[in-house]
Amino acid sequence: MSSGACTVNTVLIDLSGTIHIEDTEIPGSVKALERLQKSKVNIKFVTNTTKESKRVLLERLHSIGFNVKGEEIFTSLTAARYLIEQRKLHPLLMVDEKALEDFEGVSTENQDAVVVGLAPEKFDYNTMNQAFRLILSGAPLIAIHKGRYYKRKDGLALGPGPFVTALEFATGQKADIVGKPELSFFLSAVEEFSVAPSQCIMIGDQSTA
Amino acid sequence: MACLKGVNAVMLDISGVLKDTADGADVAIPGSVNAVNRLKEAGIPIRFCTNETTTTRKNLVDRLQKLGFSIKEEEVFSPAPAVCQVLRQRGLRPHLLVHPASEADFDAVDKNKPNCVVIGDAAENFSYENMNKAFQTLIAMDNPVLISMGKGKYYKDSNSLILDVGAYMKALEYACDIEADVVGKPSASFFLAVLQDMERVPEETLMVGDDIESDVGGAQRCGIRAALVRTGKYRSSDENHPKVKPDIIVNDLSQLVDELLAAGGKL
């Protein structure tokens, strides 16, 4: 191995498609993770999720047999919360009910920001208008991601991207996107380790994200 | 005013220029009923150019007449009749995502086995599931055709600003990676059809509106001069728009007519 690779001390690992698919382990990954954990490198699991809270992800990983701790997981919801706390914002949360627990303790009174995830039940006309007026009066628009659509039992269904785009167009304000592949996502994920990006390696199954 | 010299025909937007909406009811903007009368008395031809799609053209005219406006149905240009013409010409059968009160404008249109989607200001009908139906209809086509009645960003209703059809058009464009065909303001074909009906050229015509992009920008791109009124959805930031500069900015339609008649607006 070249000397460059030897300086890696932090490993970022994608979840779905990299170490598991739904409730099934990708063969060998439980063992591989154990070996990494013994080698004392920093480990962070990074994933774009807009529905599943950290707790739900953790339960699934444990049931498959992975030895993972809550603080080792950094999701796009974590990144959104991080941004909200950093900027002391009181958001209108257009996120799925199941994802709300990742925002527990965040004040949503006197709203001055809009956070959009995948939340079909929040994309109604009234909530969209509420979000629009907040952004028009200066509230930042924070998007968990800008996915165009996703697969539902009855076929394809609109993702958050179209609704974020609608709000961007109507207000003339660009959204801040917090998930992969945004630079800020990766930097926030490794911040606690105080390492340089060149000391980190990302392991995933998608070349673009 | 020099900038109004030679104007002898006028296009008027309706919402925000002639009337506002408060708690679901129409209210004439002060001075506007009289302003329309003064234009007509001066012999200046008028057409009313609206992107209104939350009602039928006939119903809109009835409501304006009740407010005291001198207005006839054939003087009103709205997107729905123009869309029906496009559908006929192109052999298109629409899936409609429109306001229930405007559906009657499409009664004569064949809507079986849709091969396009027509979107208007559907207001409360812009639910997630309705947006999804429009999306699923589009994504199932080899060549998705989306026709949008206007592309306004927002408008004013009962003292608050609300999303207009343009925002939802953009959502479907983004979801399907397509570009909509816009019928109505600001599309050039809409303004040109109005000019043709008035038998006027762009240089002698003035558009009056409260939408800096759809009204002012759209008209100016056709060579038509445009006035911005400080009524309706007007916001002070419109006066510093990065791309669009109105030929004249007035407080309301009444002041515009004062200026126009003072400038010797024909006859």
* Alpha carbon distance A127, A124 (integer Å): 6
Cα angle B162-B165-B166, degrees, rounded to a multiple of 5: 100
> Chain B, 123-152: which have a CB under 8 Å from a chain A CB?
123-128, 131-132, 135-136, 139
- Predicted local confidence at residue A152, as pLDDT: 82
Q: Are residues A29 and A57 in the same domain?
A: yes
Q: Are residues A102 and A153 in the same domain?
A: yes
B chain contacts of residue A123, beta-carbon cutoff 8 Å: 128, 131
Is the per-residue pLDDT at A45 higher than 60? yes
A192-206: average pLDDT? 93
- Predicted local confidence at residue A80, as pLDDT: 95
Q: Are residues A114 and A167 in the same domain?
A: yes
pTM, two decimal places? 0.89
Which candidate in A116, A121, A123, A125 is best for mutational testing of the B interface (most B CBs within 10 A)? A125
Q: What is the CATH number of domain B36-202?
A: 3.40.50.1000
Q: Are residues A104 and A169 in the same domain?
A: yes
A53-75: average pLDDT? 95
Is the per-residue pLDDT at A6 higher than 80? no
Domain count, chain A: 2
In a domain, A1, yes or no: no
Residue B236 is encoded by which pair of tokens?
A: 């002070």
A chain contacts of residue B125, beta-carbon cutoff 8 Å: 125
Question: Residues A102, A73: contact at Cβ < 8 Å?
Answer: no
Which chain A residue is nearest to residue B121, measuring alpha carbons?
Answer: A125
Cβ neighbours, 10 Å, residue B68: 13
Q: Are residues A148 and A128 in the same domain?
A: yes
Q: Are residues A161 and A193 in the same domain?
A: no
- CATH assignment at residue A57: 3.40.50.1000
Q: Do A132 and B174 touch (CB under 8 A)?
A: no
Bridge partners (DSSP) listed for residue B250: B229
Q: Does B153 touch chain A (CB under 8 A)?
A: yes
In a domain, A113, yes or no: yes
Cα angle B178-B181-B187, degrees, rounded to a multiple of 5: 135
Q: Are residues A127 and A147 in the same domain?
A: yes
Is the per-residue pLDDT at A178 higher than 80? yes
B chain contacts of residue A141, beta-carbon cutoff 8 Å: none
Interface ipTM: 0.90
Q: Are residues A92 and A145 in the same domain?
A: yes
What residue type is assigned to position B19 of the chain? K
Q: Do B171 and A166 touch (CB under 8 A)?
A: yes
Closest CB from B125, B136, B162 relative to A155 = B136
Spell out which chain A residues touch chain B, with contact meaning CB-CB distance below 8 angstroms: 120-121, 123-125, 128-129, 132-133, 136, 148-149, 155-159, 161-163, 165-172
Q: Is B265 helix (H, G, I), strand (E, B) or coil?
A: coil
A68-88: average pLDDT? 95
In a domain, A83, yes or no: no
Residue B258 is encoded by which pair of tokens?
A: 């004062």
Closest-CA distance, A171 to chain B, in angstroms, reads 8
In a domain, A167, yes or no: yes
Q: Does B178 touch chain A (CB under 8 A)?
A: no
Q: Do A162 and B172 touch (CB under 8 A)?
A: yes
Q: Are residues A94 and A110 in the same domain?
A: yes
Domain residue limits at A48 = 10-76+181-203
Q: Are residues A173 and A196 in the same domain?
A: no
Q: Does B154 touch chain A (CB under 8 A)?
A: yes
In a domain, A44, yes or no: yes
Q: Are residues A168 and A197 in the same domain?
A: no
In a domain, A82, yes or no: no
Q: Mean pLDDT check: name the lowest of A151-155, A163-167, B23-27, B236-240.
A: A151-155
Please list, in sequence order, all residues whose beta carbon lies within 8 angstroms of the beta carbon of residue A57, skipping any fewer than 6 positions away: A15, A47, A49, A73, A75
In a domain, A185, yes or no: yes
Q: Does B236 touch chain A (CB under 8 A)?
A: no
Closest CB from B127, B132, B160 relative to A157 = B132
- Predicted local confidence at residue B267, as pLDDT: 42
- Nearest one of B176, B115, B173, B180 to B149, comparing CA atoms: B180
- The one-digit pLDDT tens for each residue of chain B (267 residues) are 668 999 999 999 999 999 998 887 899 999 999 999 999 999 999 999 999 999 999 999 999 999 999 999 999 999 999 999 999 999 999 999 999 999 999 999 999 999 999 999 999 999 999 999 999 999 999 999 999 999 999 999 888 999 999 999 999 999 999 999 999 999 999 999 999 999 999 999 999 999 999 999 999 999 999 999 999 999 999 999 999 999 999 999 999 999 999 987 544
- Predicted local confidence at residue A155, as pLDDT: 87
CB burial string A20-33: b at 16+ within 10 A, e below:
beeeebeeebbeeb
